[in-house]
Structure 1
Amino acid sequence: MTEYVVLGFILAIAIFLFWTQKLPYELTAVLVLLSMMLPWPHPDGEWRGILTYGEAFSGFGSSAVIMIAAMFVFGGALVQTGAAEWVGARLFRATAEKEWLLQLTILTMTTLCSMFVNDTTTVLVFMPLILTVCRERNLAPSRYLMFAAYGSLLGGQWTLIGTRSNILISDFHRQYTGEGLGFFDFTPMAIVIFLASAGYMITIGRKVLPTTVPLEEFDEEVREYLAEAVVTEDSATVGKTVADLPWSRRNDMSVVEVLRGDQRIPRWFRLEPGDVLIIEGSSEVIQELLKTTDFQIKEEFKISPEALQSVNLVTVEALLAPNALYQGRTLDQVDFNRFYRFTLMGISRRGETIRSRPSEIPLEFGDYLLLLGNIDDLPRLKSNPSLILLGQKSTPAIGRRKALLTIALLFGIIFTAMTGLLPPPVSIPLAAVLTILLGCINLQDAYSNIDWPTIITLGGMIPFGLALEKTGAAAELAGLLVHTFQGLSPVFLLGVLLLLAVLLTQLIENAAVAIILAPLAYQVAIGTGVDPKPFMVGLAVCVSSAFCTPVAHESTLLVLGPGRYRFRHYLQLGSVLALLTWLLATLITPLVWPF
């Protein structure tokens, strides 16, 4: 009984610290781990901790933690190769004419992506694309960003690798029964929850979102660069006028003039291969032109196809320094590629509208330059005394080969899980290693994509579940719950447990909720005399329902600032989604996985 009191005290302090965030999550988890090792006097007179040293540190070697770290690496490869962006940007622009259609597209795309990529990473990938479309069409991002956040949470409910809590609960189930949960065991419930949530959000829920958020309130300063885009031989724009081009109506770019040879031609002339369009737009626009087969940036001819397909591409914005060697020279006369292995893609001159060809403009002090190159060559560029580097941004690989390769590895994970050829604890780390070996992500980026605070949090909290089992606290709590509701159906007990999961996940991180409740769920099922699988699957679905507050999950927190949301927006929209998740999971899980 004394150990129960100590565990209860540790749990209460941990929940308080997780909720108030007075300490970082990972530090709280480490304190929980250490508290279970500290020796204290027992009634038998012996000083000992709840767990041995080996048991306390076992979380860091668990298959769940290894799988989660591997998924961070694999998700980074999907982003680095541009696989997610390649599909998402096209669909967002195609559906931007109608608000509800774009909202539904964002919700669907983020859900699909989050089935296989970490939910936070999903929001980080799609949020810039959504903001770009909002700038292009003069739309309020507050009407769309919430759909990305909630879509990433809904997508986590679909598959074993959708979110770390699913992997943790599957690992608990494997420890208890010798068999983990299947890759798509969660999917039937997730489909129904997604359809109900999407229907509510599109018809009623979106009405509570703010209607007007001026773009200038969240926009950072956007520099406009001039670049020369050459119409390629196989371009779909051949035979069309500038007005016929789909991006001619965009707000974030403009065609300054069109050149054929050395002659300016009217904008109503039909384009031919080799025509040069002088484009004015942001660095994101220049990057988009790099990715299309319709145009080639003039300076792109200096970059080899192999370099463009590298996952180490970086875009750098630089300012021409006073007394720079390049002052008075044109872009044609400055060969950054030869000396620094960077290619100059565009030029911007503050306060002036440039109407000349970028390649013919003499450089001046204060000019902004947009450069593209390999991150390994960045130190060499920094040593250039004529440039002041202002910032850099990782650029997804240009081309589809590595994106398709990464997607093929993803299908390999799914196929091996469905056929049983390889269990997920083997196939997921194997796929992550292959992305590094095949050049889809470099080793440095692989390390940086792993969310180490999350790994430490999980490694520190997993032993708490072990402590609940070792001390018998989970069995005692389950027995109390079963006795209290004696004579009622297992569905009612499932509903009580899932309601507790939904409430807790609004306050603390979902992986911590999974670690706390998984042992209890198993013991409740055993105490009731039913199969524990419905309890574990239902629990996995419900801990991914952190819709009601902006601080319950990283995904909802990420869109808080750019969307200018208030707490009430999360509560009004998210509370209905959380209620739908709890109700549908309680009713449908026993139908799919009978007791």
Structure 2
Amino acid sequence: MDSNTFDQVLVVIVIILALILFAWGRWRYDIVATSALLVLAAARIIPTDQVFNGFGNPAVITVAAVMVVSRGMWNAGAADALAAALAGLGDRLLMPVITGVTAFISAFVDDTGTTGIMMPVAIQLARKNEQSPSKVLMPIAFASLLGGCITLIGTPANILVAGFRRQATGEPFGLFDFTPVGLSLTLAGLVFIWLIGWRLVPVRRSKGGKDELFEIADYLTEVAVPKESPFVKKTVSELEKALQEDVLILGIVRGKRRLPVLSRLEPLRAGDVLIVEADANSLKALLETSKFVLAAEKDLAKKFLVSAEIGMVEGVIGAGSQLVGRTLAQMNLRRFYGANVLAVSRQGHRHKGRLSGFRLQSGDVLLFQGGTESLGTVLDRLGCLPLAKRSLRIDKPTRVVTAVLIFSGVVLLPAFGILPVQVAFTAGAVLMVLCGIINARELYENVDWPLIVLLGAFIPVGEAMQSSGITRSIANAFLPVAGQLPHVVSLGVVLAGTLLLSNIINHTAAAMVMAPIAIGIAQGFGASVDPFLMAVAVGVSSSFLTPIGHQANTLVMGPGGYAFGDYWRLGLPLSLLVVGLAPFLIKMFWPF
């Protein structure tokens, strides 16, 4: 085996293993991508002085800057104000308006962020109209994916595809080069959802509110602390450490005072009455260990879970959350964040076992209790999205105007060719900080660093596919068959292959694998690379079949109560629509 063949075989093996690990999900995708990069660097397939060149790629810089600018728009309240205008929607207009607005926002704000903005609004409107939230959550997730393919900044995958076009032709795709195809597909997809697709969405049993969803009151008990208890003068922390069961101390009644327990250092006194959340087995263990006695009272949830100072909010765990893969015991939220997690729901079903050892994953819904003023900040720092509409941040209209002006500037400057996209958006991110719309901490906290590492690590791997000749070999194997068919059919094959791959692995990783292959096929035909790269861009924005291909799908899984197999009901016909229509639209706007 000559050295060139060895290089090709090794690159193929590394990429196949990476795809398997991406789909398995046992290790985070940035770790997998970095490992693939290091293996190819150790084999000298990627030159050692170019191993980390991907992190300086304009596509990576652009993605990070877009995330910061989008956060600025969120902080200023521009998106909230637009979402609030939907508050009066009735039953008939709910589906077309909320999906249409979602698609519009998604064209300019990251599609995952758009889903996070619209999800609490959709839930509230569905409950107001006595509908199950499951009827609208999947459509808004799919609308955000469709809208993301309208502009360069709608999804990180578009920025990445534009970077591959720059490598192939010397010029990247412009900000609105995606619009003719993307807008046409988005309109077609939305019309399908409005007329037919909504009937295919599974209906899950709707609950009325936070306490009903998790039935918290069923798990609350009042216990009195007698003077002979060994835990008199001991702290809440010491009591919880002594117990081997899941028992959460939520409040203390001391005389006529009611004390919410958000500090684990509160000492117990004889005569205190504790409000505890526990199942039957945990409660029995508590009484035996502490020598506490039962004391019955009604309406505990209303008295202790919510007050002027203490509130509850449901939050869904985002894909980049620090909670993913960890347990509540490891996070120790009461100590570090001053908040309690009262319950956890996965795919619409409350977890009935021990909470402390339950390993969390993206899409889980948590019921948080904490200070009303701090809960929003806690959710932000944990990477969770609230399922209740936030209080609107529009009390300072000048911030909204400033943010909109900055955003308009960073969009118009590249559109008129005055500045490259990466420079314009980086300048916009800096201006958002200088104008006080986001602070220095948020500047870094709101960048999806695992995604940035994935991009920076896998871009050289994609280049290795080209330099080792793999893309040329794939094109040569494809051409004898495809050469007998119209180019539009080949375009459909590339699009369908990308679409299927993006439903199995992270859609951005799918773009990095398929873009070099698309370029190789186009060059083998002697055709322009543009239509084939556009097919890749459309394919990665069409992850409708599973909840794992795109974070927007994952976000709505828990709140909607969807099962893994629910997505294909609406996703399959929508995917067939895209595969059938997109090649002809691409051919129309991007000739071969």
TM-score by length of 2: 0.71
Structure 1 residue matching 2:548: 3-state secondary structure: coil
Q: Relative to structure 1, is the Cα distance of residues 79 and 132 closer, same or farther in structure 2, using a 3 angstrom cutoff?
A: same
Question: Which of 428, 439, 443 is 1:442 aligned to?
Answer: 439
Once the two structures are TM-superposed, the CA of residue 153 in structure 1 deviates from its matched residue by 0.5
Structure 2 residue matching 1:27: 3-state secondary structure: helix
One-letter amino acid of the structure 1 residue matched with residue 37 of structure 2: L
Q: Relative to structure 1, is the Cα distance of residues 55 and 323 closer, same or farther in structure 2, using a 3 angstrom cutoff?
A: same
CA offsets 1:564-592 (integer angstroms, 9 cap, x no match): 12333311110111121122221111111
Once the two structures are TM-superposed, the CA of residue 487 in structure 1 deviates from its matched residue by 3.8
Which residue does 1:332 correspond to in 2?
none
Question: Which of 1, 14, 17 is 2:18 aligned to?
Answer: 14
Q: Relative to structure 1, is the Cα distance of residues 38 and 324 closer, same or farther in structure 2, using a 3 angstrom cutoff?
A: farther
Which residue does 1:453 correspond to in 2?
450
Which residue does 1:517 correspond to in 2?
514
Which residue does 2:28 correspond to in 1?
24
Which residue does 2:171 correspond to in 1?
179
One-letter amino acid of the structure 1 residue matched with residue 505 of structure 2: I
Question: Which of 3, 8, 12 is 1:4 aligned to?
Answer: 8
Task: Map residues 255-334 of structure 1 onto 2, 5 A cutoff.
Answer: none
Q: Relative to structure 1, is the Cα distance of residues 202 and 408 closer, same or farther in structure 2, using a 3 angstrom cutoff?
A: same
Which residue does 1:496 correspond to in 2?
493
Task: Map residues 573-588 of structure 1 onto 2, 5 A cutoff.
Answer: 573-588=570-585
Contact 1:168 1:515 in 2 (8 A): yes
Distance (whole Å) between structure 1 residues aligned to residue 215 and residue 75 of structure 2 = 23
Question: Which of 189, 194, 202 is 1:210 aligned to?
Answer: 202
Stretches of structure 2 lacking an aligned partner (at least 5 in a row): 217-249, 260-297, 312-334, 339-368, 378-390
Which residue does 2:61 correspond to in 1?
66
Distance (whole Å) between structure 1 residues aligned to residue 301 and residue 61 of structure 2 = 54
One-letter amino acid of the structure 2 residue matched with residue 521 of structure 1: A
Stretch deviating more after TM superposition (420-429 or 207-216):
207-216
Question: Which of 534, 539, 543 is 1:537 aligned to?
Answer: 534
One-letter amino acid of the structure 1 residue matched with residue 393 of structure 2: A
Q: Relative to structure 1, is the Cα distance of residues 440 and 396 closer, same or farther in structure 2, using a 3 angstrom cutoff?
A: farther
1:143 aligns with 2:135: yes
Which residue does 2:359 correspond to in 1?
none
Which residue does 1:156 correspond to in 2?
148
Select the structure of larger CA radius of gyration.
Answer: 1
1:397 aligns with 2:393: yes
Once the two structures are TM-superposed, the CA of residue 556 in structure 1 deviates from its matched residue by 0.6
Question: Which of 69, 75, 80 is 1:80 aligned to?
Answer: 75
Once the two structures are TM-superposed, the CA of residue 131 in structure 1 deviates from its matched residue by 1.8
Q: Relative to structure 1, is the Cα distance of residues 367 and 33 closer, same or farther in structure 2, using a 3 angstrom cutoff?
A: closer
Which residue does 1:370 correspond to in 2?
309
Distance (whole Å) between structure 2 residues aligned to residue 208 and residue 559 of structure 1 = 16
Which residue does 2:88 correspond to in 1?
94
Which residue does 2:383 correspond to in 1?
none
CA offsets 1:393-436 (integer angstroms, 9 cap, x no match): 14653323212222222221221122111110111111111111
Distance (whole Å) between structure 1 residues aligned to residue 570 and residue 504 of structure 2 = 17
Contact 1:79 1:396 in 2 (8 A): no
Q: Relative to structure 1, is the Cα distance of residues 102 and 122 closer, same or farther in structure 2, using a 3 angstrom cutoff?
A: same
Contact 2:81 2:394 in 1 (8 A): no
Structure 2 residue matching 1:161: 3-state secondary structure: helix
Once the two structures are TM-superposed, the CA of residue 30 in structure 1 deviates from its matched residue by 1.2
Distance (whole Å) between structure 1 residues aligned to residue 499 and residue 119 of structure 2 = 26
Stretches of structure 1 lacking an aligned partner (at least 5 in a row): 40-48, 224-318, 329-349, 355-363, 373-378
Which residue does 1:275 correspond to in 2?
none
Distance (whole Å) between structure 2 residues aligned to residue 222 and residue 139 of structure 1 = 20
Contact 2:494 2:535 in 1 (8 A): no
Once the two structures are TM-superposed, the CA of residue 371 in structure 1 deviates from its matched residue by 8.1
Distance (whole Å) between structure 2 residues aligned to residue 166 and residue 192 of structure 1 = 16
Task: Map residues 339-350 of structure 1 onto 2, 5 A cutoff.
Answer: none
Once the two structures are TM-superposed, the CA of residue 170 in structure 1 deviates from its matched residue by 0.4
Distance (whole Å) between structure 2 residues aligned to residue 419 and residue 325 of structure 1 = 68
Distance (whole Å) between structure 1 residues aligned to residue 88 and residue 392 of structure 2 = 21
One-letter amino acid of the structure 2 residue matched with residue 8 of structure 1: V
Q: Relative to structure 1, is the Cα distance of residues 427 and 326 closer, same or farther in structure 2, using a 3 angstrom cutoff?
A: farther
Contact 1:320 1:388 in 2 (8 A): no
One-letter amino acid of the structure 1 residue matched with residue 526 of structure 2: G
Stretch deviating more after TM superposition (22-31 or 126-135):
126-135
1:115 aligns with 2:107: yes
Once the two structures are TM-superposed, the CA of residue 542 in structure 1 deviates from its matched residue by 1.6
Once the two structures are TM-superposed, the CA of residue 220 in structure 1 deviates from its matched residue by 5.3
Distance (whole Å) between structure 2 residues aligned to residue 497 and residue 212 of structure 1 = 36
Question: Which of 462, 465, 468 is 2:462 aligned to?
Answer: 465
Distance (whole Å) between structure 1 residues aligned to residue 573 and residue 304 of structure 2 = 57
Which residue does 1:130 correspond to in 2?
122
Q: Relative to structure 1, is the Cα distance of residues 16 and 84 closer, same or farther in structure 2, using a 3 angstrom cutoff?
A: same
CA offsets 1:211-259 (integer angstroms, 9 cap, x no match): 4522248765799xxxxxxxxxxxxxxxxxxxxxxxxxxxxxxxxxxxx
One-letter amino acid of the structure 2 residue matched with residue 199 of structure 1: V
Q: Relative to structure 1, is the Cα distance of residues 366 and 321 closer, same or farther in structure 2, using a 3 angstrom cutoff?
A: farther
One-letter amino acid of the structure 1 residue matched with residue 38 of structure 2: L
Structure 2 residue matching 1:547: 3-state secondary structure: coil
Q: Relative to structure 1, is the Cα distance of residues 454 and 327 closer, same or farther in structure 2, using a 3 angstrom cutoff?
A: closer
Distance (whole Å) between structure 1 residues aligned to residue 113 and residue 255 of structure 2 = 40
Distance (whole Å) between structure 2 residues aligned to residue 214 and residue 103 of structure 1 = 17
Q: How many residues align?
A: 453
Structure 2 residue matching 1:507: 3-state secondary structure: coil
Contact 2:18 2:32 in 1 (8 A): yes
CA offsets 1:112-132 (integer angstroms, 9 cap, x no match): 111111111111111112222
1:589 aligns with 2:590: no
Once the two structures are TM-superposed, the CA of residue 158 in structure 1 deviates from its matched residue by 0.4
Stretch deviating more after TM superposition (118-127 or 405-414):
405-414
Q: Relative to structure 1, is the Cα distance of residues 593 and 366 closer, same or farther in structure 2, using a 3 angstrom cutoff?
A: closer
| Aligned-residue RMSD, C-alpha | 3.2
Structure 1 residue matching 2:91: 3-state secondary structure: coil
Stretch deviating more after TM superposition (77-86 or 205-214):
205-214
One-letter amino acid of the structure 2 residue matched with residue 177 of structure 1: T
Which residue does 2:38 correspond to in 1?
34
Structure 2 residue matching 1:488: 3-state secondary structure: coil
Distance (whole Å) between structure 1 residues aligned to residue 149 and residue 393 of structure 2 = 30
Contact 1:498 1:582 in 2 (8 A): yes
Distance (whole Å) between structure 1 residues aligned to residue 563 and residue 306 of structure 2 = 40
Q: Relative to structure 1, is the Cα distance of residues 321 and 429 closer, same or farther in structure 2, using a 3 angstrom cutoff?
A: farther
Q: Relative to structure 1, is the Cα distance of residues 327 and 154 closer, same or farther in structure 2, using a 3 angstrom cutoff?
A: closer
Q: Relative to structure 1, is the Cα distance of residues 138 and 62 closer, same or farther in structure 2, using a 3 angstrom cutoff?
A: same
Once the two structures are TM-superposed, the CA of residue 13 in structure 1 deviates from its matched residue by 0.6
Distance (whole Å) between structure 2 residues aligned to residue 566 and residue 371 of structure 1 = 33
Once the two structures are TM-superposed, the CA of residue 156 in structure 1 deviates from its matched residue by 1.0
Once the two structures are TM-superposed, the CA of residue 162 in structure 1 deviates from its matched residue by 0.6
Once the two structures are TM-superposed, the CA of residue 538 in structure 1 deviates from its matched residue by 2.2
